Chain A
Amino acid sequence: MNRTLARSLPVAAIGVAILLPMFMGDYPLQVARNIMLYMALAVTWDMLLRSGQISFGIAGLFGLGSYASILAVVRGGMPGWLSIPFAGLFAGLAAFLIGFLILRLRHTYFSIVTLALGEIFRIIIHNMHDFSGGPEGIVVQQGIIFGGASRNLYWLTLAGLAVALLASYWFEKSKVRFALTAIRNNEISAKSSGVNIFRWLLLAFVVTSAIQGMMGGIFVMSYGFASPETVFSADFTLLPLAMALLGGIHSTVGPILGGLLLGLVSEWLKLQIPYGHLVVYGVMIVVVILFMPQGLLGLARKTMRAAGRNRK
């Protein structure tokens, strides 16, 4: 009975997610889009984290994908829909090249370098006035995707999230899980079991970066606009991180759960306090790290285990 429930729950969730636009107005749909976007970023951040590498560069790859997409459309005349996979491809390729350099780094060094890379992308875009539009940003003049219909944009974002979830599911159910878990636990003993550490890290880094870039493409195509300050915003690093931590790391469900919760809370807070609502995220991160490092998911597991023991 428990198992059927566990099976039917995701199916129900998918159904609801697909049908949602039928019952909702434009504003709630936009909120839902935002939340799904952050969820996808949170899941991909977690996917790399499963190897023990903490990236602070989500915003960097997201922004890179955003600009790849919008520049392909505006400067290259690419159709909007095609620019989205192109953004993913571009970010993935960039990650592949960068990966050769930075995946030899560990711990704090890796994290700081990913953060620095994001800043470098931002400054380059910012300074290439003629090509990228510079600090003022760049606008899609005509042929905005789906004519801006919010239902379609919702489904587009949902599709992006689905890609992230499928990738995460693949990471969980295949050899990738064994490789990343072994690397996270102890690289030396992983090597002794024949794990080619660099190769698996590169795979994880490229896949997650490509999805982050693709979400950037979806984001700019939805709004038809990109500027360095919006698409490289620290929010795109911060929020996914907080969501994954709150929900519970090293899983697919955790970041989704955390994303749903924090996304709704923040949307509400944004209306209440226009400045500094992000403080909630900071507090959340600190509290989660100090008091429930396993996140809500870990907490739930613990309670269930305790309940099970009591029943016996």
Chain B
Amino acid sequence: MIYGLQAAGLYAAIAIPMGLVLGIVHIVNLAHGEFMMLASYATYFTCKALGMDPLIAIVPTAIVTAIFGWIIFQLTIRRALKAPELNQLILTFGIAIVFSQAINLVFTSQTYKMPLDYVSASMDIGELTFGIWSFVFVAAAILFAGGLNFFLKRTTTGKAALAVGQNPKGAAIVGIDVYRTYGLVFALAIALVGAMGALFLTKSAIFPTVGSPFTMKSFCLVAMAGVGNIPGILSASVLLGLTENFLRAFRGSREWADIVFFVLIIVVIMSRSLKGRKS
């Protein structure tokens, strides 16, 4: 139950930035998890070299990945915005491969992990013992959701971004630089993902394909919640996290836990599209 919630936090924190990009830039970024993976690697090697704690690296990592995201956006995605959806999908798919395989090329498929003491801190409630560190993911998810909500509704840039997301042509007419806004939103999303990359490193081992399941899961959660529905992502994540961990708890069904997500994604997409067809 508790592990389920913690997993949910992780899923939600990673899915929220994808929801942001899909909602405003209208791009399905299939390289989403790979951006996180890159951030994790960057954090790992910087921290290793400087003897730093990954937690301190969260903010710098976010800034660096934001810049990186901006560059990638300008170099590639921007050019495909007007292209058919097919091209966009294949493009980000290609970017995902470049990222994960480039890491594979440089660092091979070996796993890396940060040994950190505080991660294993645990807590007892009655007879239950559980790790408290992973709650940091839940905190991050709530922070992201709240922060984005504030950004989109209360700040000028955020409002502009929302306007662009709803009606790019109209936004352009009232003088908003649409492409700049897309770039900013994309960079912001990648920054959040980058921060998650640093945070993820505190808990998990990293390897070249560590990001790709998160791309899928994020997309699933965003699809489940509906485009532009950030609180929906939170509840969808809770559902996914709980079901997975429920199955994991039993010996007989442990190995089937991974399938939950894929079945869930199909069920959700099917029901959504059929409902959409009727209305």
Q: Which chain A residues have a beta carbon within 8 Å of chain B's beta carbons?
A: 49, 52, 54, 56, 101-102, 104-109, 111-113, 115-117, 119-120, 123-124, 126-127, 238, 241-242, 245, 273, 275-279, 281-286, 289-290, 293
- A101-B270, A123-B258 known; A286 and B83 CB under 8 Å? no
Give the complex CA separation of A111 and B216 in angstroms. 11
Minimum CB–CB distance from B112 to chain A (whole Å) comes to 15
A119 in contact with B94 (CB, 8 Å): no
B106 at the A interface (CB under 8 A)? yes
Q: B residues 73-121 with Cβ under 8 Å of A?
A: 76, 79-80, 83, 85-87, 89-91, 93-99, 101-106, 108-109
SS of B interface (majority) = helix
| A54 CB contacts on chain B under 8 angstroms | 86, 89-90
Give the complex CA separation of A245 and B266 in angstroms. 27
B140 at the A interface (CB under 8 A)? no
A286 in contact with B266 (CB, 8 Å): no
B251 at the A interface (CB under 8 A)? no
Give the complex CA separation of A156 and B269 in angstroms. 39
Minimum CB–CB distance from B251 to chain A (whole Å) comes to 13
Q: B residues 237-263 with Cβ under 8 Å of A?
A: 255-256, 258-259, 262-263
A290 in contact with B223 (CB, 8 Å): no
Give 10 CB contacts A-B under 8 Å.
Answer: A104-B270, A106-B273, A117-B266, A275-B105, A275-B108, A278-B97, A282-B97, A283-B98, A285-B93, A293-B83
B132 at the A interface (CB under 8 A)? no
- A105-B270, A113-B265 known; A289 and B87 CB under 8 Å? yes
A279 in contact with B102 (CB, 8 Å): yes
Q: B residues 176-227 with Cβ under 8 Å of A?
A: 208, 216, 219-220, 223
B154 at the A interface (CB under 8 A)? no
B98 in contact with A286 (CB, 8 Å): yes
Nearest residue, chain B, Cβ from A249: B86
Give the complex CA separation of A106 and B108 in angstroms. 37
Q: B residues 261-279 with Cβ under 8 Å of A?
A: 262-263, 265-266, 269-270, 273-274, 277
Minimum CB–CB distance from B107 to chain A (whole Å) comes to 9
Minimum CB–CB distance from A127 to chain B (whole Å) comes to 5
Minimum CB–CB distance from A137 to chain B (whole Å) comes to 16
Give the complex CA separation of A219 and B216 in angstroms. 28
Nearest residue, chain B, Cβ from A107: B85
Given contacts A54-B86, A105-B270, 7 further A-B contacts (CB under 8 A): A112-B265, A120-B266, A241-B93, A276-B104, A285-B93, A286-B94, A289-B90
Give the complex CA separation of A56 and B255 in angstroms. 24
Nearest residue, chain A, Cβ from B105: A276
Minimum CB–CB distance from A273 to chain B (whole Å) comes to 7
| A101 CB contacts on chain B under 8 angstroms | 266, 270
B273 in contact with A286 (CB, 8 Å): no
Give the complex CA separation of A242 and B5 in angstroms. 39
Nearest residue, chain B, Cβ from A237: B93
| A286 CB contacts on chain B under 8 angstroms | 76, 91, 94-95, 98
